[in-house]
Amino acid sequence: MTNQPQIKYRQDYRPPSHLISDIHLDFNLNEKKTRVTATSQIQRQTSEDTPLILNGENLILISVSVNDQIWPHYSQKDDHLIIEQLPKAFSLTIVNEIHPDKNTALEGLYLSGQTLCTQCESKGFRHITFFLDRPDVLARFTTRILADKKRYPYLLSNGNKIRQGELKDGRHWVEWADPFPKPSYLFALVAGDFDVLRDQFTTQSGRSVELALFVDKGHLDRADWAMSALKKAMKWDENRFGLEYDLDIYMIVAVDFFNMGAMENKGLNVFNSKYVLAKTETATDKDYLHIEAVIAHEYFHNWTGNRVTCRDWFQLSLKEGLTVFRDQEFSSDSGCRAVRRIENVRLMRSAQFAEDASPMAHPIRPDKVMEMNNFYTLTVYEKGAEVIRMLHTLLGESVFQAGMKRYISRHDGCAVTCDDFVQAMEDASGLDLTLFRRWYSQSGTPELIIRDHYDAQKQQYHLQVSQITPPTADQEKKYPLHIPLDIELYTKKGEVIPLQNQGQPIDSVLNVIKAEQTFIFDSVSSEPVPSLLREFSAPVKLDYPYTDQQLICLMQNARNDFSRWDASQRLLNSYIKKNIAEFHENEPLTLPLHLIEVFRHVLLNDNLSPALIAEILTIPSENEIAELSCFIDPDAIHFVRQKWLRFFSASLSETLWDQYQKHQTPIYRVTHTDTAKRALKNICLQYLAFGRTDIADQRVKTQYQTSSNMTDTFAALTAAVAAQLPCRDFLLSDFESRWHSDPLVMDKWFFLQATRPEKEVVDKVRALLTHPSFSLMNPNRVRALLGAFASSNPVVFHAKDGAGYTLFLEILTTLNTQNPQVAARLIEPLIRFKRYDSVRQKWMKQVLEKLKALNNLSKDLNEKILKALED
């Protein structure tokens, strides 16, 4: 912990002074005190007598030996062990001790309930032993774990189990060998007692892989879904990317204390139990979907991340952007592509664009970093995936796959850069990607300003496209980018107009490469309705003066489902923006009755997937609305959104009720047809909840009481809370008494408590900090209660009396020392103070100043606070 900013720059990369070809780790495991003996085979890469400088934090050093001789020539300074007078090649043995039970930051080796487990990405390995803890040092690992057999019957690490044995004193040991050289961040160790779900997968080349899923005792009935997701992902990666698993065993362990979703350690994934455990009674359709996606994501890392890894942490998007793209494609191939795309785009527009507009703005490949953990961001992950998707759009599937093959065969077993990836794509396609590379270095959300002109006489249509990227906190000057702009033209009746110029067909993806460009289309016999930025073909904002008629035409006729949804959102957003202005002028809100028939038409359209209808009918969230303008007024946004909910509810009530009844799923199955039906049914219920109170109350209560699955139960509860129905407290306490001993289910309850649209919620949240199911030590609980409060209840969190902010000052002060990573995620809404009015700004700045004054401020918080206050 330090207050001194220590910034690292991408440009300062230097290859390591030494290579470590092999490391043998010996763990004498105990939750209170673990002794680690690490023996590494090291070769100096420089000709001069360069000292070996190893990373190590919070370690108690016992001894250093070189070639089996105690070595006195070392010193310790600032989390480094500096060893001198070394030969060119040597064997180094270091013995040190650590205290897993004191490790509340959950980085390195720590205790999750009764389980000992590790988290090493990005810099956790240095909390285990002294090492060259950087991703470009790849070593072959063998790991021997010795521990009490009763307490820790399972001792797991990467690779294959090669030996095991027992001691007379009740301890046992297991030795693992991972044949693939890997960086230290992919190391993993788990020790505990589990129920194990075992299965098997035969690869396309006929090898048999043993699959094992380790869950807390008693949770075997919640493991099946994750196991089938794993097998599905393995098959898909063979079919679509031609990539086959490489070890003889693939293990997944679910733990309760985990800072993020999951971790792709070689052959031994460690997962937040939230992304593994599911059964009908405890998990919602969304949970099932997320589990499948995260299981797939971590599995896909085996090639994009593990076999080909990052040269340095600035290159994080090399593995994360690409792997998110792969998991998105997996989910799209196995479900409804349009709906998956809509979910991704909602996240980009509501949260990634907000990150671009924040003091933490950075390119997908950052140039400077103070605390690496702060850069596992939506920009690196989601925008990174959008950049890969743009390459995919420009190259097409088969050339993209040729590029992937080239990338993997060229760099297998290596630590490489984002440039290496683009180079492989360039070589495979023959395209000039020089300008495209700018997406990696330029931050911010570009805006495409499109105007058009129709020349009836010449039957010509002109699209004038200009692009501008506004300055961001990290970069003043911006340059034009290579933006793939996917378009289609329709007649007013909704017929497609082929794109052509001088008799030649034009591809629907236009290459926007300059600040200003005009595209001309011939043989356009009537003024067209343009469908622009189809599929969100680039992570940009679009400014085009659509009329209601044009958007309605697209909603009803676009061939592409995503475009239908996008048109509906643009339509709603245009009125919502107007309403916010009206709210500020104290004027009555314009609620366009003529749109109701359009939405009713969608509701009744049997040709659309019910899941797509549900998306089209979803009014943008408060966070999505916030991104429609620079200045955020949470009160106005909340007021306007509530009005829309009631407006939809009142105007469509009968149709909603009909559709609600029509889309029942009497038996619970997680199939695409059924989850789509439930999505529509439950969005109908959300609106019905805002209808006449007595009827709404009865309907919601009935669904809750007759529900056989968590999807319907949670939907009913959510509706009751959102519409503040009389039954809500009764239902919430019923839920609590039923699930109080099931932490993952209780997270849903904490979420609902924290997102109640009621002013007293601050006090409720404060009171819930002492609820028996709550613990500030568990990141899932913190996210469910406090994360939800700050991010999903903006109107109460940002209350002008500052009560929400004050609560957060207290929480962040505790988490700063306890778990800096979790604290740094939680502080995000506060560092974005600039977008609010002066009263709120003052409160938020005060909180940041107080935190800044802490004498033990973590690097994680320090980086964010400094950026916010200097912005």
**Residue ranges binding ligand B3K (CB under 6 A):** 121-122, 260, 262-264, 297-298, 301, 320, 373, 376
Q: Measured from the CB atom, is 259 or 651 closer to ligand B3K?
A: 259
CA distances from 416 to 181, 305, 372, 424 (A): 14, 10, 18, 12
As measured in angstroms, the least distance from the Cβ of 277 to ligand B3K is 18
DSSP per residue over 536-597, as a string? G-SS-EEE----HHHHHHHHHH-SSHHHHHHHHHHHHHHHHHHHHHHHHTTPPP---HHHHH
Count of helices and strands (H, E) across the chain: 30, 35
Footprint on residues 67-106 left by Zn ion (CB under 5 A): none
Q: Measured from the CB atom, is 665 or 816 closer to ligand B3K?
A: 816
Q: Measured from the CB atom, is 317 or 323 closer to Zn ion?
A: 323
Q: Measured from the CB atom, is 292 or 320 closer to Zn ion?
A: 320
Query: Rounded to 5 degrees, what are φ and ψ at 500?
Result: -150, 160
Q: How far apart are CA 319 and CA 325, in angstroms?
A: 10
Residue 121 binds what, of ligand B3K, Zn ion, none (CB under 5 to 8 Å, by partner type)?
ligand B3K
Q: How many residues bind Zn ion (CB under 5 A)?
A: 2
10 Å Cβ neighbour count for 625? 26
x/- map, 655-694, Zn ion, by CB under 5 A = ----------------------------------------
As measured in angstroms, the least distance from the Cβ of 45 to Zn ion is 30
As measured in angstroms, the least distance from the Cβ of 270 to Zn ion is 13
Q: Which of 313, 336, 359, 600 is nearest to 475 (CA)?
A: 359
Residue 622 binds what, of Zn ion, ligand B3K, none (CB under 5 to 8 Å, by partner type)?
none
132: left (phi over 0), alpha (psi -120 to 50) or beta: beta
Residue 285 binds what, of ligand B3K, Zn ion, none (CB under 5 to 8 Å, by partner type)?
none
As measured in angstroms, the least distance from the Cβ of 860 to ligand B3K is 10
DSSP per residue over 613-634, as a string? HHHHHPPPPHHHHHTTSSS--H
Q: Measured from the CB atom, is 289 or 540 closer to Zn ion?
A: 289
Q: Measured from the CB atom, is 136 or 264 closer to ligand B3K?
A: 264
Q: Measured from the CB atom, is 157 or 753 closer to ligand B3K?
A: 157
Q: Measured from the CB atom, is 380 or 688 closer to ligand B3K?
A: 380
As measured in angstroms, the least distance from the Cβ of 123 to ligand B3K is 9
**Residue 545: exposure state from Cβ atoms within 10 A (0-12, 13-18, ≥19):** exposed
Structure tokens at 112: 């999750």
Q: Which of 113, 174, 128 is nearest to 149 (CA)?
A: 174
Task: Give the DSSP letter of residue 372.
Answer: G
Task: Give the DSSP letter of residue 498.
Answer: P
> Using CB atoms, what's the residue nearest to ligand B3K?
121
As measured in angstroms, the least distance from the Cβ of 185 to Zn ion is 12
Structure tokens at 280: 């009908």
Structure tokens at 576: 């919502």
Instruction: Give, for 752, the enclosing helix (H) or strand (E).
Output: helix 743-754
Q: Measured from the CB atom, is 364 or 723 closer to Zn ion?
A: 364
Residue 263 binds what, of ligand B3K, Zn ion, none (CB under 5 to 8 Å, by partner type)?
ligand B3K
Q: Which of 183, 54, 56, 187 is nearest to 119 (CA)?
A: 187
As measured in angstroms, the least distance from the Cβ of 264 to ligand B3K is 5
Whether the upstream peptide bond of residue 651 has omega within 30° of 0, thus cis, is: no
As measured in angstroms, the least distance from the Cβ of 301 to Zn ion is 6
As measured in angstroms, the least distance from the Cβ of 56 to ligand B3K is 19
Structure tokens at 809: 């000052």
CB 158, CB 186: distance < 8 Å: yes
HEC assignment per residue over 643-677 = HHHHHHHHHHHHHHHHHHHHCCCCCCCCCHHHHHH
What does the buried/exposed string (b/e) look like for 7-27 if buried means 16 or more CB atoms within 10 Å of the residue's CB?
ebebeeeeeeebbbeebbbbb
Annotated catalytic residue 298 = yes
What does the buried/exposed string (b/e) look like for 213-249 if buried means 16 or more CB atoms within 10 Å of the residue's CB?
bbbbeebeebbebbbebbbbbbebbbeebebebbbeb
Q: Measured from the CB atom, is 262 or 851 closer to Zn ion?
A: 262
CA distances from 457 to 280, 485, 488, 527, 736 (A): 63, 27, 21, 11, 70
Torsion of CA 824, 825, 827, 829, to 10 degrees: 150
- Residue of 175, 298, 488, 828 marked catalytic: 298
Q: How far apart are CA 798 and CA 784, in angstroms?
A: 18
As measured in angstroms, the least distance from the Cβ of 253 to Zn ion is 17
Residue 376 binds what, of Zn ion, ligand B3K, none (CB under 5 to 8 Å, by partner type)?
ligand B3K
Structure tokens at 84: 């001198």
Instruction: Describe the chain by its helix, strand, coil percentages, rounded to 5.
Output: 45, 20, 35
Footprint on residues 310-329 left by Zn ion (CB under 5 A): 320, 323
Which residues are known catalytic residues? 298
Binding site for Zn ion (CB under 5 A): 320, 323
